[in-house]
Amino acid sequence: MKKIIFIHNNYEPEQFLREPDQEDKFYTYGFGSNFARNFKQYHPQYTVEMWRVDGYAKKHYEKTVQNVLFRIFPAFKINKFVEISFNFIRELRREIGKNDPILFVSNVHTWLLYQVTWFFKNSKIIASHHGDWSPFFRLSQRKGIRKLKDTIDAAIEKRVLKNVDYFLVCDYSEIPYLKMAVPNGKFKIFSSGLNINRFHPIDKMEAREILGWDKNKKYIIYVGKLYDLKQPNDLIDIWTELKKEHKNIELVIIGNSPTDEFYNYAVASGAKVLGRIINKELSKYYSASDVYVLMSLRNDYFGGTGIAPLESLACNTPVVSHSMRNYIGDNMYELGEIPGSLAEYKEAILKILYNSGKYKNMRESIEKYYTYEKISEKIEMVIKELLKDS
């Protein structure tokens, strides 16, 4: 059986656990882990391992979870500047000499990928992008000492990213920056996918009765943190404008905390600010709403469609977002609207609120393109292409 090693680092230390727990979240958190476990579930003919380089781990850990061997390598870390594990490099060199695995690295613009592509350039390497910023983009935005690091990273990328055989990219905006390092690279628009079994459509009026919402009003919903990249202030301002002429429109905001940058702004606006809701309850809120809105007009947004829009569509609620230009399927205009300015967002929201019957095949489209099984199929297609070329 061909071996696939999924590789990632501790890119979110506030979320990753520092030591093993009874539920194995220490091992299974993160994009790379999801890819590895889902790929093994739907393609059991492959041997699958998940290796994590972790500057916060106290020691080396190993455990098999859901038929995937997880290996955690403690690393030497200097803030965000460098993270390296000599044991990881040594063990991967041994593994490549023995089994010649395909390497799948989550996140592109990291020292982890730079090391893998430098030391193991003859291996087959796939890299997946999840919204992280290219140093070429950062160079256009930053000043001072941080620009020195961006200059170094850009030079490294020109040297080593040519050794990546395939880039799986979540956002079209990322591709021009990747091409600055790899003009002839192979790119495919991609997503981390959705566990569709967690999200089920409920009749809109039934969901509103459960939640105690007014059956005669129109509801806009946003699920996510209230920080500047997601432009929640712009969404709130648009809603405030709409409400002057449409008294029956309400804004519901979920997934936030009082420490969020625009939390107080949201509360003061009069929107329904509901904080964090557990995943298994979200279907009620998506189903009870008329439209999901994600603001994504900033030039530093590289996050693809986003996960919450997919969750909304799985509950048959249409979406307004510029991010939907990254939708993998070819029927995005059945699913919502793709505005390109604040004025167009306002128009698009009204269009959906008063023409809801136009939008269709939402859950069916998610089932066709975004389930974990479908994403695993896309990964295997790339793997087969690389094996055919070898």
**151 and 36 housed in the same domain:** yes
Give the DSSP letter of residue 357. Answer: G
**273 and 377 housed in the same domain:** no
Helix (H, G, I), strand (E, B) or coil at 296: coil
What is the per-residue pLDDT for 105?
97
**377 and 332 housed in the same domain:** no
**321 and 380 housed in the same domain:** no
What is the per-residue pLDDT for 318?
98
* CATH (domain of 256): 3.40.50.2000
Report residue 304's pLDDT band, with 50, 70 and 90 as the boundaries: very high
**98 and 32 housed in the same domain:** yes
**82-86, 248-252, 264-268: range with lowest mean pLDDT:** 82-86
**What sections of the chain are H helices per DSSP?**
25-28, 31-42, 86-99, 111-119, 135-139, 145-160, 175-181, 204-211, 232-245, 263-269, 279-288, 307-314, 332-335, 342-353, 362-369, 372-389
- Provide CB contacts within 8 A for 5, sequence distance 6+: 48, 49, 50, 51, 92, 95, 101, 102, 103, 104
Cα dist from 251 to 235, 248, 329, 337, whole Å? 9, 10, 28, 18
> For 233-243, what is each residue's pLDDT tens digit?
999 999 999 99
> For 30-44, what is each residue's pLDDT tens digit?
889 999 999 999 999
Mean pLDDT on 143-147: 81
Residue 19 has pLDDT above 90, yes or no: no
**48 and 15 housed in the same domain:** yes
**61 and 206 housed in the same domain:** no
Give the DSSP letter of residue 133. Answer: P
234 Cα distance to chain centroid: 22
Range of the domain at 274: 196-369
**90 and 234 housed in the same domain:** no
Look over the chain and give the mean of its residue pLDDT values, rounded to a whole number.
Answer: 94
**314 and 219 housed in the same domain:** yes
What is the per-residue pLDDT for 214?
96
**51 and 14 housed in the same domain:** yes
Helix (H, G, I), strand (E, B) or coil at 55: coil
Report residue 390's pLDDT band, with 50, 70 and 90 as the boundaries: low
> For 216-229, what is each residue's pLDDT tens digit?
999 999 999 999 99
Of 232, 11, 224, which Cα lies nearest the Cα of 110? 11
Residue 15 has pLDDT above 80, yes or no: no
What is the per-residue pLDDT for 366?
98
> For 87-99, what is each residue's pLDDT tens digit?
999 999 999 999 9
What is the per-residue pLDDT for 20?
87
What is the per-residue pLDDT for 149?
87
Mean pLDDT on 106-118: 94
**16 and 120 housed in the same domain:** yes
Contact 124, 3 (CB under 8 A): no
Share of the chain above pLDDT 90, in %: 88
Share of the chain above pLDDT 70, in %: 99
DSSP 267-292: HHHT-EE-----HHHHHHHHHH-SEE
Residue 133 has pLDDT above 90, yes or no: yes
> For 149-184, what is each residue's pLDDT tens digit?
899 999 999 999 999 999 999 999 999 999 999 999
Of 380, 373, 306, 292, which Cα lies nearest the Cα of 42? 373
- Provide CB contacts within 8 A for 98, sequence distance 6+: none
Of 321, 324, 315, 363, which Cα lies nearest the Cα of 342? 321
What is the per-residue pLDDT for 80?
67
**86 and 230 housed in the same domain:** no
Residue 354 has pLDDT above 90, yes or no: yes
- Sign of torsion over alpha carbons 26, 29, 33, 37: positive
Contact 72, 27 (CB under 8 A): yes
Residue 79 has pLDDT above 80, yes or no: no
What is the per-residue pLDDT for 11?
78
For the chain, what is the domain count? 2
What is the per-residue pLDDT for 82?
76
∠ CA 164-170-173, rounded to 5°: 95
